Amino acid sequence: MYLESPKKFNMLVEQAHQVALNVLRPVSRKYDKAEHTYPKELDMLASLLDGMNEGAPGSAGATSATGGGAKDNTGEIKNGANLSTVLGVIEMCWGDCGLLLAMPRQGLGNAAIAAVANEEQLERFKGTWAAMAITEPGCGSDSAAIRTTATKDGDDYILNGEKIYVTSGARADSVVVWATLDKNIGRAAIKSFVVKHGTPGMQVTRLEKKLGIKASDTAAITFTDCRVPAANLLGSPEVDVQKGFAGVMQTFDNTRPLVAAMALGVARASLDRTRELLKDHLSPNYSKPMLTASHAEATLNRLEAEWEAAKLLTLKAAWMADNKIPNSKEASMAKAKAGRVGNELTLKCVELCGAVGYLEDELLEKWARDSKILDIFEGTQQIQLLIIARRLLNKTSAELK
């Protein structure tokens, strides 16, 4: 087992770190205070990332999470796009998590397209910026409880319903909408549709004010007799009761490691800054025995260990996706661990730094606020633990609720 990051991704990681340091960090506080203002600095950066994506095995954004590894001439599968993307996301979120989420053409909806779309759709939606709309007013963590409907009408589907908490919902070119073809069938009838902004019947009704990630817009969207081409249904239109909605759920197997990587990036930023602020009270290179270390030093060492464990779980989940190994359990383990560690670590860093960490003179208080959402969206901590239990005990969702 190799626990180090693949050397071939070193340049990508360094590029992502430089972007985080020189582009994202300098404007981080600016857009935290100017909620709902589009970060115009991201346009040039997004174009740069598009160039990095072109023909590359992976890059720092959700568009690369395709779930496929590249085989060499020996038939072995190498480290691929999912792993490289996770490594890039960690670095970018070391800069600013909200700004990464606001990055054009790097939305979580892009990962949904990559996970489920057929070859024709992958080509047709190439270059689009896609948000992802799952949550509804009466449907939170239970994605199977979706009530937005999609009714077949000739060569189209007609969508009716409301989606909330849509990240980049107002800014993105398109929204990947989860809807059911038949409420009576249950989760097996849930499919995802790509709906372009400007489609009649689709309306952004409000933008949410949030605790953190304020650089990213979060929208509520209604669909009223919204007509969408049948060709925009991602994957197969057939309802397979035996398979359930494993097709659309495969999206989460791609995106949960990405969210875990976001939490790792924010947590790493907090650890690094705390060590800088407390450097006069810490022994160099972890040289002091734990029994003689100060409380602050012992706490930071423990948090470092938790961070490393979360990182290894995240890299494993991404590596499994690259090698086409089912990773639902591992993706949830990574998301649960990294989400919890990110919350605890960022708050502890604020605590250890006292008033310095609590004031807006430092980004520590911002990172603590940003980290909370990373344990909530893409499935809460409790939902991840439930999924892990189902996989370990070989229970269905009906058997273990």
Q: Which residues belong to the active site?
A: 378
**Helix ranges, 34-96 (H):** 41-53, 81-95
Instruction: Give the β-pairing of 174-180 and 190-196.
Output: antiparallel
Instruction: Give the β-pairing of 156-167 and 190-196.
Output: unpaired
Residue 99 CA to residue 252 CA, distance in Å, equals: 21
> 3-state class of 103 per DSSP?
coil
Matching residue, tokens 């759709």:
121
Instruction: Give the β-pairing of 130-133 and 174-180.
Output: parallel
The DSSP-derived string for 79-144 is --HHHHHHHHHHHHHHH-HHHHHT-TT--HHHHHHHHH--HHHHHHTTT--EEEE--BTTBSS-GG
Residue 353 CA to residue 289 CA, distance in Å, equals: 22
Q: What is the DSSP letter of 286?
A: G
The DSSP-derived string for 196-222 is ETT-TTEEEEEE---SS-TTS-EEEEE
Q: Which two tokens stand for residue 349?
A: 């860093």
* Region class of 347: left (phi > 0), else alpha (psi between -120 and 50), else beta: alpha
Nearest-CA neighbor of 57 among 76, 42, 77?
77
Residue 330 CA to residue 354 CA, distance in Å, equals: 36
